[in-house]
Amino acid sequence: MLSVNQLAVGICRKMMDNAEMYNVKHTLFKNGVHLIDTGNRALGGIQAGLRVTEICLGGVGNVSFTSMDLDGLTLPAIAVSTDFPVLSLLCQASGGYREAMEGWINFTAGSYAAIASGPARAIVHEPEEMFDVLGYRDDAEVAVVVLQSEQYPDEKVGTRLLERCKVNPENLYMVLSPLSSMSGLVQVTARTVENAMVKLHSLNYDVKKVKFAHGVAPLPPLGSRTIVPDDMLSYGSIVHLYVVPEEKTDLREIAKKMPSQTSKDYGRPFTELIREHKGLRGIDINLFAPAEVYVNNLKSGELYRFGKVNSDLVKKMAGLH
């Protein structure tokens, strides 16, 4: 079975060996733990963000920088494709999962707090219910954790992660990717396939039936206070899923329920929703979904399309008219 942590370590080492090219900083703590800073004390950038996204996909996805036209508004965009959508999903933050909100996604170590994602999730196996349903565990002796936080981690953070991952210190890689950085902006905006898989799971559909996936979403302006990556995912993303449906399942009806427009919170900015709910918890789970979804039935060859990119709303949130 593929080891998402082994694959991700290869990407980490590439960044460490080419730190200057990626504008990242590698620190080896006294306890032996590695830190790759991609946007706090280091500048980071687009290329660093693409590599962090590949790590968040467990090394089994392709990521590229492209552009999208939203009715005359041309924005840079992140495209993701994978032949292992379930493995990719397990490595990401999975914020839309109710179960995941109880898991180590909300990582703390003393006063340090971060959204923890990446392949190490498959070692920690938390939340256990989700991993048991999806049937994957990585027993690798190396672990890679992506920390989405504005705080700079210290050795105590590494020690806490060592306790959770149960690997030797020299085999633990922490990748810091603050949302305020270009790296963080890229890797969060790239969660298109993840959001689609989250929505399928919330509809009680067996996500293992999804064999291939592709998604694209526009990048919001870096540093914007009015529009964030979650807005781009829910109102500007397009996802294609290739599915072998279960017997006697109406895949078209499932696809119809997938777009974010089915949410009671549809049309509201995430900045407003997060402020109202004091975080992601409480936001309607149906909003964590693609704006526009295409589902290809691999048994019949049929293609179903539902939802639509809301260009007007994206322009309004971005302050463009």
Residues 165 and 38 reside in one and the same domain: yes
Q: What is residue 250's three-state secondary structure?
A: coil
Q: What is the mean pLDDT of the chain?
A: 92
Query: 96 pLDDT band (50/70/90 cuts)?
Result: very low
Residue 102 has pLDDT above 70, yes or no: no
Q: Is residue 219 part of a domain?
A: yes
Mean pLDDT calculated for residue range 303-318: 96
Picking from 123, 98, 112, the residue whose alpha carbon sits closest to that of residue 283 is 98
pLDDT (0 to 100) of residue 130:
74
Confidence of residue 94 (pLDDT cuts 50, 70, 90): low
Give the residue-averaged pLDDT of 160-185: 97
Report the chain's terminal Cα–Cα distance, integer Å: 50
Q: Is residue 312 part of a domain?
A: yes
Residue 93 has pLDDT above 80, yes or no: no
Query: CA-to-CA distance for 17 and 26, rounded, in angstroms?
Result: 9
Looking at the fold, whether 171 and 222 belong to one and the same domain comes out as no
Tell me the pairing of strands 112-117 and 143-148: antiparallel
Q: Single out the residue in 180, 212, 243 at which a domain terminates.
A: 180
228-234-239 Cα angle (round to 5): 120
45 and 176 inside one domain: yes
- What pLDDT was estimated at residue 99? 46
The confidence score (pLDDT) of residue 182 equals 98
Beta strands in the chain (DSSP E): 25-28, 34-37, 61-70, 73-82, 106-109, 112-117, 143-148, 172-176, 210-218, 238-243, 292-297, 303-307
Q: Answer whether residue 200 is part of any domain.
A: yes
Closest Cα partner for 123 from 162, 84, 177?
Answer: 162
Is the pLDDT at 81 greater than 60? The verdict is yes
pLDDT score at 104: 57
Tell me the CATH number at 277: 3.30.1030.10
Same-domain check for residues 112 and 129: yes
Question: What is the pLDDT, as a whole number, of residue 272?
Answer: 95
218 vs 266: CA distance, rounded Å: 18
Yes or no: say if 258 and 295 are a contact pair by the CB < 8 Å rule: yes
Share of residues in the chain with pLDDT > 70 (%): 95
CATH number, domain of 119, equals 3.10.340.11
Alpha helices in 206-291, H assignment, sequence order = 229-236, 251-256, 270-277
Q: Cα separation of 45 and 216, whole Å?
A: 19
The mean pLDDT of 50-77, rounded to a whole number, is 96
pLDDT of residue 280: 77
Do 138 and 113 belong to one domain?
yes
Whether the predicted pLDDT of 91 surpasses 90 = no
Residue 190's pLDDT band (cuts 50, 70, 90)? very high
Mean pLDDT over residues 54-66, rounded? 96
State which residues form the domain around 75.
58-89+191-321
Domain termination site, one of 156, 180, 204: 180
156 in a domain, yes or no?
A: yes
Domain-embedded: residue 62: yes
Q: Which of 195-204, 239-248, 305-314 has the lowest mean pLDDT?
A: 195-204
Dmax (CA) for the chain in angstroms is 58
Count of alpha carbons within 13 Å of 286, Cβ hemisphere only?
16
Residues 41, 133: one domain? yes
Is 186 a member of any domain? no
- Total domains in the fold of the chain: 2
pTM: predicted TM-score of the whole model, two decimal places: 0.94
Are residues 81 and 134 located together in one domain of the fold?
no
Question: Residue 93 to residues 198, 246, 266, 279: CA-CA distances in angstroms?
Answer: 11, 27, 22, 14
85 and 108 co-located in one domain: no
Question: Does residue 271 sit in the same domain as residue 197?
Answer: yes
Q: Are 240 and 101 contained in the same domain? A: no
Cα atoms in the Cβ-side hemisphere of radius 13 Å centred on 261? 15
pLDDT score recorded for residue 206: 92
Final residue belonging to a domain, choices 129, 150, 180? 180
Q: Do 221 and 115 sit in the same domain of this protein? A: no
pLDDT (average), residues 80-107: 70
| Axis-axis angle for helices 182-189, 229-236 (nearest 10) | 30
Residue written as tokens 């270009």? 182
Is residue 37 domain-shared with residue 68, that is, in the same domain?
A: no
Which of residues 103 and 133 earns the better pLDDT score?
Answer: 133
pLDDT of residue 101: 46
Q: Residues 147, 154, 12, 187: what is their CA dihedral angle, to the nearest 10 degrees?
A: 20
Question: Which residues have a Cβ under 8 Å from the Cβ of 140 and sit 6 or more positions away?
Answer: 3, 4, 5, 6, 123, 167
pLDDT of residue 123: 92
Residue 314's pLDDT is 96
CA angle 273/98/147 to nearest 5° reads: 75
Amino acid identity, position 207: V
Is 25 part of any domain? yes
Domain assignment present for 173: yes
